Amino acid sequence: MIQLDMFRNVLESKPPPDHEPPQTFDLILTDPPWDYDGRTFLNKKANETGAASDHYPTMTPQELKDMNVQHLCNTNCIMYMWTTGPQLDISIEVLQAWGFKFKTVAFVWDKIITNPGYYTLSSIEYCIVGTKNAIPKPRGTRNERQFLQRRRTHHSAKPKDFIERISRMHPEQTKLEMFSRKAYNGWYSWGHDANGDGCVNIPRLNNKDIPDYVANVSWPLPF
């Protein structure tokens, strides 16, 4: 079976689940659609170096904070959140608003391609980590590399290396990727552009604004 991502590339997909997806999770990975003060480039024409708002609907920090993410979390839950340098303090605030205690920077991705910055050339994205109560057990690997240097591809798309690393770190936990682009084996996926057999609806509601070819996706989360 196949699924299509937002760029209509053919990707491998896992078989459709034969049971209802969980409504709470041990682990959540999220790449929020950060709003950079409404900035846009090239008259809002989508491009790989433009603002996020050129590519998908963005959310303000307050809109993100207002999301009731806690109802998706098990008693013990861990969250990995992608962010950038300018959003680092806001990201920690969002993490805390969702019921998590900031712990550290889990991953650093050097995208090689640089963007102009106010202070230095920008080529780095960070993945911070926080916990709600204890880290879910059993634990997996604890020797995964923090740093990855790999040239970026599509806007905001993250290398699958990080999914693989997190999967090894938490092999038995129920895992959800929020704001995802595609589904990965062993993960549940939810997002504006996510589609295919591995995607779930949390809660299972339909949004009339989502195209018919995108199944089992709710946007935004009805919190």
* pLDDT tens for each residue of 30-46: 999 888 765 443 444 44
State which fold the 23-38+51-190 domain adopts. Answer: Rossmann fold (3.40.50)
Q: Which residue has the tokens 């950038």?
A: 84
Listed by start position, the domains of the chain span 23-38+51-190
- As a whole number of angstroms, the distance between CA 85 and CA 110 comes to 12
Q: Is 75 helix (H, G, I), strand (E, B) or coil?
A: strand
The pTM for the full model equals 0.77
Q: Model confidence over 103-116: pLDDT tens digits?
A: 999 999 999 988 88
Closest C-alpha among 222, 175, 223, 187 to residue 77: 175
Q: Give the model's pLDDT for residue 129.
A: 98
* Better pLDDT: 130 or 113: 130
**Exposure of 169 in the CB half-sphere (CA atoms within 13 A):** 23
Q: Model confidence over 167-186: pLDDT tens digits?
A: 999 999 999 999 887 778 88
CB atoms within 10 A of CB 50: 17
